Structure 1
Amino acid sequence: MSTRLPTYFLSHGGGPWPYLEGDFRRAFDRLEQSLHDIRRELGNAPRAVLVISGHWEVKGFAISSGAQPGMVYDYSGFPEHTYRIRYEAPGSPELAGRVWTLLSGGSIQARLDPQRGYDHGTFSIMKPLYPEEKMPLVQLSVDPGYDPELHLKLGRLLAPLRDEGVLIIGSGASYHNLREAMGSKGIEPSRVFDTWLQDPC
């Protein structure tokens, strides 16, 4: 593969699914296999991972900058043990600073957050992808205004990281209205939006 790393947008699955067993876990077998395939394709190329998590919204963007981030249990209704799990991968203050520099240089407001822990938009995909929990990891928030131009600009500013050994992952879902997504009401709007999202025009 070339030295330029790919980028990915991944569905993170339901809550803390890698830490569960049974039918709920099995529902994400395809996602888990795709994460194993990504790891195999990347080999040892990444030196760190930047996850833009759909579960972290901050006006003006924020970057996790702690050396040993904690956990954010941003889900409900799961077994008690899933509120005690730990994903122990180190943070990277160095990478956080680099992200801040790139965004600030492009006139995008951002701040470093040394207290932010890993939310399930991050640890749910990182656990199968890097189960050794040794890959340095930084999270970046999304802006709650969801301005497409602002986020596209952010993506362009982050692009140099791909040549610096940083794997960039967008984590979320193309349709995330949980009040509707869990039932039949969300099927049609989800299909329409996903079709639009994949339209090359």
Structure 2
Amino acid sequence: MNLQTLPGLFISHGSPMLALNPEQVGPALNRLSLNLPVPQAIIVMSAHWESQSLEVSTGVRPETWHDFRGFPQELYEMRYPAPGHPKLAETILHLFAEAHIPAHANSTRPRDHGVWMPLLHMYPDASIPVVEISLPMNMSAEEIYKVGQILAPLRDQQVLLIGSGSITHNLRELSWDGNQSAVPEWASAFRNYVVSKLAHSDYDAVLDWSSLPFVQRNHPTIEHFAPLFFSMGTGTRFSVVHNSFSMGSLGMDIYRFD
């Protein structure tokens, strides 16, 4: 079998309503998937699986988890029944062990919306096996970056690596009334600064996240930004796949790392 190298991706997955109202990012995710070789498997680090230490989903067919409240009933009826990949999960655990990074198998973890919502737009037939890895909140940005580096060789085996979060994520600042309000300067300036640093291969500046301009206003908590560190570890050549904002200040960017 002739396997083709896949990139690493950072995907801003946005509100759960993205499943029903794709806005600009849904079609962008679909186009991206059509332009990539079909993956043999997908690995996702999601902002919505915070853990104390690194965990790997080993389930055969994880449930679709609707880990949100107050949305239309139609959203709770959605399923993303892609199979798991226990063999790949074991390979991931072995790679972590070789790198002396403690990691644990989790056979019961359901799939949160940080996993299934973007994949719903990329691979709607849910036929590609998916393994989720957790976001270990005891790790530094540099350590999460190293997790991406450890898994990067799997790209050569046609495995797609995804960090799923949001380039900006402050729920208190969003425009919830359905009107597209203007993007505030603190959000656009933060996004543009991060993109500039990545485009100039200054990964260290991004990993020093607490020094980024307006970081506290864009990320009152770090869990939606941290998957970017994982994605950065998967490749050294950065490009922007998509750039938009939703609900005013919610950044919906997609980045590619080759």
Q: Fold match, TM over 0.5? A: yes
Query: How far did 1:193 drift?
Result: 3.0
- Find runs of 4+ consecutive structure 1 residues off by over 6 angstroms: none
SS at match of 1:29: coil
Q: In the alignment, does 2:86 pair up with 1:93?
A: yes
Q: Give CA-to-partner distance per residue, 1:24-77, whole Å, 9 cap, x none.
A: x1xx33211211211111133x10000111111111111111001012211121
CA distance in structure 2 between the aligned counterparts of 1:157 and 1:148, rounded to whole angstroms = 14
Q: Please, what TM-score do these two structures have when normalized by structure 1?
A: 0.87
Query: Which letter maps to 2:73?
Result: E
Q: In the alignment, does 2:110 pair up with 1:117?
A: yes
Change (3 A) 1:109 1:16: farther
1:59 corresponds in structure 2 to 52
Query: How far did 1:181 drift?
Result: 4.1
CA contact (8 A) 1:174 1:190 kept: no
CA contact (8 A) 2:4 2:37 kept: no
More helix by share: 1
CA contact (8 A) 2:64 2:81 kept: no
Change (3 A) 1:89 1:156: same
CA contact (8 A) 1:54 1:171 kept: yes
2:13 corresponds in structure 1 to 12
Q: Please, what TM-score do these two structures have when normalized by structure 2?
A: 0.69
Q: For 1:182-197, what aligned pairs fall within 5 Å after superposition?
A: 182=175, 187-197=184-194
Query: How far did 1:5 drift?
Result: 1.0
Report which stretch shifted further, 112-121 or 174-183.
Answer: 174-183
- Paired residue for 2:157, among 153, 161, 164? 164
Query: How far did 1:125 drift?
Result: 0.6
Q: Give CA-to-partner distance per residue, 1:115-140, whole Å, 9 cap, x none.
A: 11111101111111111111100111
CA distance in structure 1 between the aligned counterparts of 2:174 and 2:193, rounded to whole angstroms = 18
Q: Give CA-to-partner distance per residue, 1:67-118, whole Å, 9 cap, x none.
A: 0101221112101232232111101101111111111211111111111111
Percent identity over the alignment is 35
Q: In the alignment, does 2:80 pair up with 1:79?
A: no
Higher relative contact order (CA 8 A, sep 6+): 1
CA distance in structure 2 between the aligned counterparts of 1:98 and 1:58, rounded to whole angstroms = 20
SS at match of 1:96: helix
SS at match of 2:102: coil
Q: What RMSD, in angstroms, separates the aligned Cα atoms of the two structures?
A: 2.3
CA contact (8 A) 2:11 2:162 kept: yes
CA distance in structure 1 between the aligned counterparts of 2:132 and 2:113, rounded to whole angstroms = 11
CA distance in structure 1 between the aligned counterparts of 2:99 and 2:42, rounded to whole angstroms = 21
1:32 corresponds in structure 2 to 26
CA contact (8 A) 2:6 2:37 kept: no
Q: In the alignment, does 2:63 pair up with 1:70?
A: yes
CA contact (8 A) 1:175 1:181 kept: no
Query: Which letter maps to 1:180?
Result: E
Report which stretch shifted further, 191-200 or 169-178.
Answer: 191-200
1:148 corresponds in structure 2 to 141
Gaps of 5+ in 2: 203-258
Change (3 A) 1:158 1:110: same
How many correspondences in the alignment?
193
